[in-house]
Structures are given as structure tokens and as C-alpha cells.
Amino acid sequence: MNQLPLNCSIIIVDDNVVVCQNLESYIEKYRPDFHVLKTCSSVHCALESLQTLSPDLVLLDINLGSRDSFELINEIKETTFELIFITGHDEYALTALKYADINHLLKPICHNQLDTALDKAKEKIISRKESSSNELVKQNLLYSEKDQTKIIIPETSGYEFVFIRDIIRCEGWSKYTKVFLINGRLITSSYNLGHYRKLLAESSSFHCHKSHLINTKHIQRYTNTGIVHMRDGSVIPVSRRKKEQFLSQVIKNNFLFPNHILRLQLP
């Protein structure tokens, strides 16, 4: 069997506990390139697990008691995993899956059929992760180039020419903006925060609060209560509606944490 060099995480969802156990047992014994995070025999368990564990792959029975798997998928905000549907001798469902070229397993599941489906899913997972990684490299290169650029900051006595990389944060103050630099200087600009939000949109800045714009390169710490500690010792709040965006955009893109670590509980 041709094993591709990547370990993929799986959640198995089937209302038949025996099916879940058999699939888990086979994968753990014969497919070291996969690891089972969870088996679920109820919709409630499946929904909770999919939202918190971030699997690479889900083996999902089409019929889940009184509900079907499509209802379950519709309840999930973001589906970043590959799917292998499991179905019985439902001619309509089977024909639809084959016609759409959707990866699926037909009960009773044979091992050859399972291996083929797993290999097919794994190729897609690898392709998606490589694509995501390449995009991240391009984005970081773009941010790096932008950070080498100077911007002009108008103030009451004239104009300041400042490297974007030297800006720690900007704070809105009435119709003005306070710009804090790494050398400890504070520039009070005659332009409002909205001007700098647009000006720094393509850099490593993040508009974390209506009054605050931070340079993510100068973050020293983030707490789960929604507080960012900056290089200059300042403590900046992340607004409640910006927390999910901060976790996915700033932390994931800058530090490459595994997906399951990013599923932090928001207060």
C-alpha cells in the first residue's frame, strides 16, 4: 500500500456503534498515516466534535437516525475537512454520489474499498495544505515588503516619514491619531484612525478595536480574555466581534499553530 508522508486526523460519524468501532479498529491497526480523534454515534456528539477538534477528514454516515448528514453539515460554519460519505443500499443516494464523483463507502464496508477512499481523501488533504502553505508564504513576503515601506504622517508642525515596521500601534483620539513607534516616540497626527487603517491595510496591521490599530509583528502576548500585550508595554483590547478573526488571521498566519489549538473558548 502506498502511504503518503502525512498523518491525517479523522472523526467517524455513524449511528451504528459497531460500524464506528470496526472502522476505528481497522484504521488504528492498518493505517498509521491516519489517527482517529473521535467516534460519534449521535448528531449532538458529531456537531460538537466537528466544531472543536478540526479534523482533516470525516467519515460520515448519510443517515443518522431521524436526521441526515446534510443537515449536520449545514449547521457547521466552516467546513475545512474532506468528507467520505457512508451509505447503505440507498439507490438514490448511491447514484447521486457516483454521479457527483463524491468519495463514499458502501455498506457493508470492505477493507479495499476503505483504503481506496482514504488514499483518495489524503491526496486532497495534502494538496489543500500545500496550497494553503504556499499562499501563506506569498502573504508573508508581501507583508515583509510592505513593512520596508515608509509612510508620511502629517502633524501640526509638518510631516514625519516613518517605516511601517517601526510603528507599534495607532490609537484613535477624537479626530486625531496617536502613532506609537519602537524608539519610544509618540507622533500625534492630524488624520483620524480611519486614514491609517486604509493606509496600512496591506501591511501586518490589524484593526482590533474601534480605537486601536496594532502592528502584529510587535505583539508579545495574547490572553483568552481578549487582551493583546504589545512590545511597548501597552495593553490593547480585542473587541468581541473581532476575536475569531484575530485568532484565525493573526495567530494562525503568523505562528502556524495546529488548527485544534486555535479553537480557543471565547468568553
Q: How far apart are CA 146 and CA 134, in angstroms?
A: 19
Give pTM, 2 decimals: 0.49
Residue span(s) of the chain under CATH 2.40.50.1020 come to 148-262
Q: Which residues are 171's β-sheet partners?
A: 178, 212
- pLDDT band at residue 169, thresholds of 50, 70 and 90? very high
Predicted local confidence at residue 144, as pLDDT: 54
Predicted local confidence at residue 1, as pLDDT: 40
Residue span(s) of the chain under CATH 3.40.50.2300 come to 8-134
> Half-sphere exposure (CA, 13 Å, Cβ side) for 189?
23
Fold that domain 148-262 belongs to in CATH: OB fold (Dihydrolipoamide Acetyltransferase, E2P) (2.40.50)
Nearest 10 degrees: Cα torsion 51, 56, 59, 64: 10
Predicted local confidence at residue 185, as pLDDT: 92
Nearest 10 degrees: Cα torsion 182, 184, 185, 190: 70
Residue 36 CA: distances (Å) to CA of 3, 26, 105, 111, 207: 17, 11, 17, 16, 38
Fold that domain 8-134 belongs to in CATH: Rossmann fold (3.40.50)
pLDDT value at 253 more than 60: no
> Half-sphere exposure (CA, 13 Å, Cβ side) for 260?
10
